[in-house]
Structure 1
């Protein structure tokens, strides 16, 4: 099994499409304006096999309620600089005080990337225009079997 699509709840489809395609550089795979109450937009992050879908009539969750989506990058500082250059407000880099993952919200955040730049240890965070929360996670070498 492979994760193929994640549905992201948004309030304004055009605003979301502009954010994900123009600011984040996601590939626009489909935009099906089927009717006034049903529109499906699918976009894919660069290099990813998993896409996101948003639109009208595709999500029952409240816009902005999705939290904890991760985009994997090989250089956290470069990724932050690129997003910032495209007008995205990014919090980070940071690491978690435990060194294991990151806590929900902003609890236990330590400013700065992992001092040894270990894979899985450095993060940054940003929200889409609706408040859906995304993380960047730096991975330069995958753990065995992944």
Structure 2
């Protein structure tokens, strides 16, 4: 009698030729780890998953936004990127105004809602950004933004109905 060994990669390859990949962690460059921790844990209310120090040159802090499968990491010795250089992370929300109110009540300086004149995705800046939520109320079309203490920029994006296949 013979047997066939089937491993995780083999199972994925049989069902789908593209192996599964999941975005698990995003590294955020910060200048002051404790200040960032107070912001993300204290102000935003994100779950603290880990705070590990192995010496004066290495500390890693991991937090996860409510309902997210992806976490952020910051600390000492985890990235050479300049603090404040992350400028486009999106947090998907079902109700933009509700989340804005909650964050403002927590002391976070959140922008007014905005949309892009083209109606697709927001431009980084300029004339294409329009005040107020998407006038047609379309999913993917309304945004607000806020910065962490170092200037890393986050966007809230309202999605009520996902595009097919998403």
Alignment TM-score, normalising by the size of structure 2:
0.86
Establish whether residue 26 from structure 1 lines up as the match of residue 55 from structure 2.
Answer: no
Q: Which residue of 2 aligns with 1:82?
A: 102
**Structure 1: stretches of 5+ with no match in the other structure:** none
The CA deviation at 1:107 is: 4.6
The one of 36, 42, 48 aligned to 2:68: 48
**Equivalent residue, structure 1, for 2:10:** none
Counterpart residue number, 2:152: 132
Higher relative contact order (CA 8 A, sep 6+): 1
Q: Distance in 1 between matches of 2:69 and 2:82?
A: 26
TM-score, normalised via structure 1 length: 0.97
* Match among 115, 126, 130 for residue 135 of structure 2: 115
Residue in structure 2 matched with residue 13 of structure 1 by the alignment: 33
Count of aligned residue pairs for this structure pair: 146
Q: Which runs of 5+ in 2 are unaligned?
A: 1-20
CA–CA separation in structure 2 for the residues paired with 1:144 and 1:41: 36
- Match of 2:102, SS state, is helix
More strand by share: 1
1:101 alignment partner in structure 2: 121
**Aligned mates of 1:108, 1:84 — CA distance in 2:** 26
Structure 1 residue runs of 4+, over 2 Å off? none
The Cα of 1:116 is off from its aligned counterpart by: 2.3
Aligned with residue 162 of structure 2, among 138, 142, 145: 142
Provide the residue aligned with 1:39 in structure 2. Answer: 59
Q: Distance in 2 between matches of 1:15 and 1:106?
A: 31
- SS of 1:95's equivalent in the other structure is strand
Alpha-carbon distance between aligned partners in 2 of 1:47 and 1:13, rounded to the nearest angstrom: 23
What SS does structure 1 have at the residue aligned with 2:78? Answer: coil
